[in-house]
Structure 1
Amino acid sequence: MAQQAVKTLRQVKPLLSLDQGQARSRVLNLYKAWYRQLPYIVHKYDIPKSIGDCKNKLREEFLKHKDLTDVRVIDMLVIKGQMELKETVNIWKQKGHIMTFFKDTEEPKPTDFLSKFLTNTN
């Protein structure tokens, strides 16, 4: 008797968007909302960054997730982005919370012997 593999597809309930087009428009609307609020955020929080630096960081944060294709994951990130925007605009955050987005990226520790030796780390 040959066993047949039964493939079942589970239908999941969408969070906000029904297809990729709707998800894309939600992402673009969120990006535009952040982009419009950046000058006010820089002024209200008095952060030591220019508006141009903040716009570059905003673009970088959105481009981190450019390869996502699952609509539910995209919707969840949009919901989180909307919450972050609301908290930021209503000044429910402090200056330190805003500055954490501008943390310097850390270089990974060397793994091979020669690199460890040259950087003087154990």
Structure 2
Amino acid sequence: MPYLNPIPTKFSPTLAETRKRVISLYRHWQKSVPTIVIEYRVNYPQAVLRTRIRSEFEKKRHLTDIGAINIALFRGRAELEETLNNWKQTSHLADIIEKKEPEDKQMKFLDSFLAGQN
């Protein structure tokens, strides 16, 4: 059973340092995919997990505030630690992998409603 040692929470003072930490976390997630597939006996190919991890990082790509980036890094590291230490159930992991994005139909309705068309 893999065990990921906890690390102290660190606040990066510059964008360059936060960028290095984000890349390091991303690589650690990607390198952990084979272990996750084996430990959780997931019925998804590794490529699906890698794509899902990539999409989660892409969601936060627009962040420019150092504080917000540091919070996202903390949460990402906590998720990785929980996953590798088997503190999650297989169903939790499956929910994360199968998470669907909001439907366009609902967003179109809200956009038109807020624009005063309906």
TM-score (norm 1): 0.74
Matched, 1:18 2:18: no
User: Which is bigger in relative contact order (C-alpha 8 A, separation at least 6)?
Assistant: 2
CA separation in 1, counterparts of 2:13 and 2:100? 37
Q: Amino acid of the residue matched to residue 86 of structure 2?
A: I
Specify whether residues 73 and 40 from structure 1 end up closer, same or farther in structure 2 by C-alpha distance, changes over 3 A only: same
1:25-36 mapped onto 2 (5 Å cutoff): 25-36=20-31
Which has a greater percent of helix? 2
The correspondence for 2:81, drawn from 72, 83, 86, is: 86
Number of residue pairs the alignment of both structures matches: 98
CA separation in 2, counterparts of 1:24 and 1:75? 10
Deviation at 1:99, TM superposition (A): 1.1
Deviation at 1:43, TM superposition (A): 1.1
TM-score (norm 2): 0.77
Specify whether residues 72 and 106 from structure 1 end up closer, same or farther in structure 2 by C-alpha distance, changes over 3 A only: closer
Aligned to 2:116: none
Question: Helix, strand or coil for the counterpart of 2:109?
Answer: coil
Q: Amino acid of the residue matched to residue 109 of structure 2?
A: T
* Structure 2 unpaired stretches of 5+: 1-9, 111-118
Deviation per residue, 1:34-66 (Å, 9 max, x gap): 011011101110112110011111110000011
Larger Rg: 1
